Amino acid sequence: MDVTKIFGTNVFNDEVMRKWLPKDTYDELKKTIENEMHLPEAVADVVANAMKDWAIEKGATHYTHWFQPLTGSTAEKHDSFISPTPQGGVVMEFSGKQLAKGESDASSFPSGGLRATFEARGYTAWDYTSPAFLKEDAAGDVTLCIPTAFCSYTSEALDKKTPLLRSMSAVSKQAIRVLRVLGNKTVKKVTANIGAEQEYFLVDKKFFAERLDLIVAGRTLFGAPAPKGQEMEDHYFGQIKDRVAEFMKDLDKELWKLGVAATIKHNEVAPSQFEMAPIFTSANIAADHNQLVMETLQKVAIRRGLVCLLHEKPYARVNGSGKHTNWSLSTDDGTNLLEPGKTPHENAQFLLFICALISAVDRHADIIRRSAANSGNDHRLGGHEAPPAIISVFMGEELTEILETIAKGEKAKSKASTTLEVGVDTLPALPKDNADRNRTSPFAFTGNKFEFRMVPSSASISRPCIVLNTIVAEALDEIATRLEKAEDIHKETAYIIRDTMKEHGRIIFNGNNYSDEWKTEAEKRGLPNISSTVEAMKTFPEEKSVGLFQKYKVLSKGEMCARYEIYLGQYYKQINIEANAALDMVKSLYIPAIIHYTRELADAIGKLVAVSASADVQRDLLSKVSTHLESAYRNTQKLESEREKAFKITDSLKCSEAFRDKVLATMADLREDIDMLETLIPRKLWPVPTYADLLFKL
């Protein structure tokens, strides 16, 4: 496979544009993209026509405005290029208007009350900063996909892309201000970059098909542990099995065609768990690409008789999945602003951006935590695998020491015992962190980027990225304002470092985040420990949160309120689905199987007694099984009534609380009974595939 020949073949990228667009149109489009201006309609017409010709040559018949509604997945409505002619035939047409703007009845997408029913239309607008691409389906149909933003008639964002683009502008604007005061006269744009590492599980399709819980809820609601878990630590980076290797090869190929630079693939910690990561790119494209990654993972898996599970915690007692989101800022001349430089000047700049991160994360730890909250992640965070629910920043010993020393007003001494004065001396070389150095931190500085490890595996990276961009914009805004007023930039930089460490240094923690001591220590430091999605969502309406997003024009108050309602709705609806699936499985599969076994035991006892043989074992088993069966039956009834009661609560927050405290809690009790019964009942009578089937039979 010649990757260079495959890569980007389905993307309307720069090379394709150069080839298919007249030179002046190409120049005009490039200028529009670079300066984020409005595209004149005449130019849009030429672009649309070229795009259509290119797509048709590659077999396309339809186009779609591809967008990311607040459901968390992507949406598309296909329109064909055909247009009737007076002679009764058709021609293939695609205008600039059709490219730039779409209108659709969008009443079935979540709007959180932003769109009144009388105005059910939603509008999609072309995001020309992310290239159009072709999607091929199994039927051989090819569709031209145009990445778009999705908003209401009154321009309120109904999607994840709009605020992402706004937050990227906000952080760019403030970063440029800081760079300007530091003497950079040329930078025109600062870009937030993301590299998202995607974890996932694979399961054999035939086992998956027999598990209603996996089918409708994405996670197992029952299942006794397999004899083996992940205790041997033999899966992580282990040899990739042939069947999986073939899947991964297929996946790479499909992603490369879409221009996704998939580069890393390996086995993860849990059995049947894997990871892929693309090379980082601008946040907006990375978010689009991650959606394509999730979609392609599932599509390719099916083709190979597998199912890809993106849920954060498909199985109890083994690791769950996350999406480590690597974030950095770079200038239009390619400088990474989170990379320590070689000159004193570059280092002062580096330290200021690091300070912005420290103060932003400390000030808004609650909002960051919220950006990674969903019902699936509640099963993952705080366990002994994923990052804890407490937000802290890992800086590494060396950098922390440098910051602390500067904060004390002394000349910083590095381990190599060189001294350092901000803006005058160069920093000692910092050791680059590798993934193993502190895997327990939820937010780690890894040499030239920050790695946010809390992000849920099934979620869009837009939410955490919007938050990071916005809180950093605020911190940079403050830094820029101080520097703009300062007489001596070097001195002021040192003061900023001092103040940051004094006010926000508590967020830095380089130790073991899984330890109990850290929980106590974090509490002493006053860091929030937000244990569940419902608690995290409570920060939405708070003035601090609303004010922040309003100030940087990322989300209006209305848009925030809508999101609050939608995310809470998603939370309790998900648990409601889980409760329904649990009830269905217990009533239609588990209880009948268990009753069948009790009958077998009772028959056996009767027969044994008739011949005066001992039936002690059978009696003992029958008594144990019956005890758990009764308990399971009681919990089933309780779950039914709790679910019903919770669902009747009209206030979203109270409803979510009831689902968390009553419904989920009863589901856990019910699971205990069923899992215990699974260990008592003959394998051949157990009605669903076991954990051993699901985890070890790939």
Binding residues (CB under 6 A) for ligand ADP: these are: 193-195, 197, 264, 277-280, 326-328, 336, 434-435, 448-449, 451
Part in contact with Mg ion (CB under 5 A); list of ranges 147-155, 289-297, 429-437, 504-512:
429-437
Stretch that binds Mg ion, among 77-85, 338-346, 433-441, 664-672 (CB under 5 A): 433-441
3-state secondary structure of 49: helix
Cβ 453 to ligand ADP shortest distance, Å: 9
Nearer to ligand ADP, 159 or 197 (CB): 197
Pairing of strands 142-152, 262-267: unpaired
618-622, Cβ contacts within 8 angstroms, sequence gap of 24 or more: 621/680, 622/598
Q: Measured from the CB atom, is 263 or 418 closer to ligand ADP?
A: 263
The Cα 552–Cα 95 span in angstroms is 34
Find the part of the chain contacting Mg ion (CB under 5 A) among 35-43, 308-316, 320-328, 473-481: 320-328
The option from ligand ADP, Mg ion, none interacting with 449 (CB < 5 to 8 A, set by class) reads ligand ADP
Among all residues, whose Cβ is closest to ligand ADP?
A: 195
595 binds Mg ion (CB under 5 A): no
Identify the three-state secondary structure at position 275.
Answer: strand
Other Cβ atoms less than 10 A from the Cβ of 539: the count is 19
The whole-angstrom separation of Cα 301 and Cα 308 is 6
**DSSP 3-state assignment of 63?**
strand
451 vs 578, beta carbon nearer Mg ion: 451
> Residue 366's binding partner, choosing from ligand ADP, Mg ion, none, with beta-carbon cut-off 5 to 8 A by kind?
none
How near is the Cβ of 198 to Mg ion at its closest, in Å?
Answer: 11
Stretch that binds Mg ion, among 102-110, 427-435, 509-517, 580-588 (CB under 5 A): 427-435
Pick the closer one to ligand ADP by CB: 302 or 435.
435
Is residue 321 within 8 Å of 273, Cβ to Cβ? Answer: yes
CA distance 453 to 72: 19
Query: Cβ 518 to ligand ADP, closest distance in Å?
Result: 22
Stated as kind and residue range, the H or E segment containing 55 is helix 41-57
Considering the complex, what minimum distance in angstroms separates the CB of residue 365 from ligand ADP? 21
Q: Is 418 left (phi over 0), alpha (psi -120 to 50) or beta?
A: beta
Q: Look at residue 193 and give the partner it binds from Mg ion, ligand ADP, none, a contact being a CB closer than 5 to 8 Å depending on partner kind.
A: ligand ADP
* Alpha carbon distance 89, 69 (integer Å): 36
State in angstroms the smallest separation of the CB of 290 from ligand ADP: 10
Kindly state the DSSP code that residue 118 receives in the 8-state scheme: G
In the complex, what is the shortest distance from the CB of residue 320 to Mg ion, in angstroms, rounded to a whole number? 16
Minimum distance, C-beta of residue 328 to ligand ADP, in the bound complex (Å): 3
CB of 131 to ligand ADP, least distance (A): 19
Taking the least distance from each CB to ligand ADP, the nearer of 46 and 260 is 260
Contact range with Mg ion by CB under 5 A, out of 49-57, 323-331, 420-428, 504-512: 323-331
Q: Does 52 bind Mg ion (CB under 5 A)?
A: no
Q: For ligand ADP, give the closer residue by CB, 260 or 367.
A: 260
Nearer to ligand ADP, 330 or 405 (CB): 330
Which residue, 102 or 447, is less far from ligand ADP as judged by CB?
A: 447
Pairing mode, strands 101-105 and 281-282: unpaired
Minimum CB distance to ligand ADP smaller for 197 or for 673: 197
**Across the strands, what pairs with 152?**
122
Residue 223 · residue 255 · CB < 8 Å: no
Rule CB under 5 A: say whether 435 interacts with Mg ion: yes
* Window of 167-175, 199-207, 430-438, 473-481 that interacts with Mg ion by CB under 5 A: 430-438
> Whole-angstrom Cα distance, residue 91 to residue 96?
16
Least Å from the CB of residue 200 to Mg ion? 15
Query: Which among 280-288, 383-391, 435-443, 519-527 is the span making contact with Mg ion, rule CB under 5 A?
Result: 435-443
Q: Considering the complex, what minimum distance in angstroms separates the CB of residue 338 from ligand ADP?
A: 7
- Does position 302 interact with Mg ion (CB under 5 A)? The reply is no
A 10 A CB-CB count for 627 gives: 13
Which residues have a Cβ under 8 Å from the Cβ of 570 and sit 6 or more positions away? 71, 72, 110, 374, 375
Pick what 279 binds: ligand ADP, Mg ion, none; C-beta below 5 to 8 Å, kind-dependent: ligand ADP
Residue with tokens 């007249």: 22
Q: Return the bridge partners of 143, or none.
A: 62, 135
**324: enclosing H helix or E strand:** strand 323-331
The total of other beta-carbon atoms located within 10 Å of residue 583's CB is: 18
Output 349 or 438, the one with its CB closest to Mg ion: 438
Q: From the list Mg ion, ligand ADP, none, which binds 288 (C-beta under 5 to 8 Å, kind-based)?
A: none
User: What's the CA gap between 497 and 354, in Å, rounded?
Assistant: 9
- The residue among 180 and 266 lying less far from ligand ADP, judged by its C-beta, is 266
Q: Which does 280 bind (CB under 5 to 8 A by kind): Mg ion, ligand ADP, none?
A: ligand ADP
324 contributes a contact to Mg ion by CB under 5 A: yes
Using CA atoms of 408, 413, 414, 418 in order, give the dihedral in degrees to the nearest 10.
150
Burial class (CB in 10 A: 0-12, 13-18, 19+), 442: buried
CB 271 within 8 A of CB 696: yes
Exposed / middle / buried, residue 564 (Cβ in 10 Å: 0-12, 13-18, 19+): buried
Handedness of CA 301, 305, 309, 315 (dihedral sign): negative
Nearer to ligand ADP, 84 or 334 (CB): 334
273-283 in b/e burial notation, b at 16+ Cβ within 10 A?
bbbbbbebbbb
285 or 694: CB nearest ligand ADP: 285
Q: At its nearest, how many Å lie between ligand ADP and the CB of residue 536?
A: 25
Interaction partner, residue 96 (ligand ADP, Mg ion, none; CB < 5-8 Å by kind): none
| Least CB distance to ligand ADP at residue 435 (A) | 4
Query: What are the tokens at 254?
Result: 């499909």
Backbone torsions φ then ψ of 506, nearest 5 degrees: -60, -20
- Least separation, in Å, of the C-beta of 283 and Mg ion? 17
C-beta of residue 399 within 8 angstroms of C-beta of residue 469: no
Q: Which is nearer to ligand ADP, 198 or 574 (CB)?
A: 198
Instruction: Specify the residue, 302 or 435, whose C-beta has the smaller distance to Mg ion.
Output: 435
DSSP codes joined into one string, 601-649: HHHHHHHHHHTT---HHHHHHHHHHHHHHHHHHHHHHHHHHHHHHHHH-
Q: How far is the CB of 264 from ligand ADP (least distance, A)?
A: 6
Q: CB nearer to ligand ADP: give 110 or 320.
A: 320
For Mg ion, what does the binding mask look like between residues 453 and 472, x meaning CB under 5 A? --------------------
Q: Which stretch binds Mg ion (CB under 5 A): 3-11, 232-240, 432-440, 680-688?
A: 432-440
- Number of residues written out for the chain: 698
Minimal distance in Å, beta carbon 435 to Mg ion? 5
Task: Write down the least CB distance from residue 521 to Mg ion, Å.
Answer: 25
From the list Mg ion, ligand ADP, none, pick the one residue 195 interacts with, judged by a Cβ distance below 5 to 8 Å according to partner type. Answer: ligand ADP
Residue with tokens 């268990």: 594
Residue 192 CB partners (closer than 8 Å, separation 6+) = 167, 168, 171, 172, 282, 283, 327, 328, 329, 465, 468, 469
Interface residues with Mg ion (CB under 5 A) are: 324, 435
